[in-house]
Amino acid sequence: MLSGAPMKDLAEGIASGRYDVSESKALSVAGPISGTTVSAMGMVLDGHQGWREADSTAAELILRALGIAPDEAQHLAAMDLPAPPEG
pLDDT in tens, 40-81: 999 999 999 999 999 999 999 999 999 999 999 999 999 988
Q: Which helix (H) or strand (E) holds 53?
A: helix 51-65
Distance CA 24, CA 84 (A): 30
* Packed helices 70-78 and 51-65: angle between N→C axes, nearest 10 degrees: 150
Phi-psi label, residue 17: left if phi above 0, alpha if psi -120 to 50, beta otherwise: left
Give tens-digit pLDDT for 1-49.
Answer: 778 888 999 999 999 999 999 999 999 999 999 999 999 999 999 999 9
- Under 8 Å CB-to-CB from 51, ≥6 apart: which residues? 44
DSSP state of 2: -
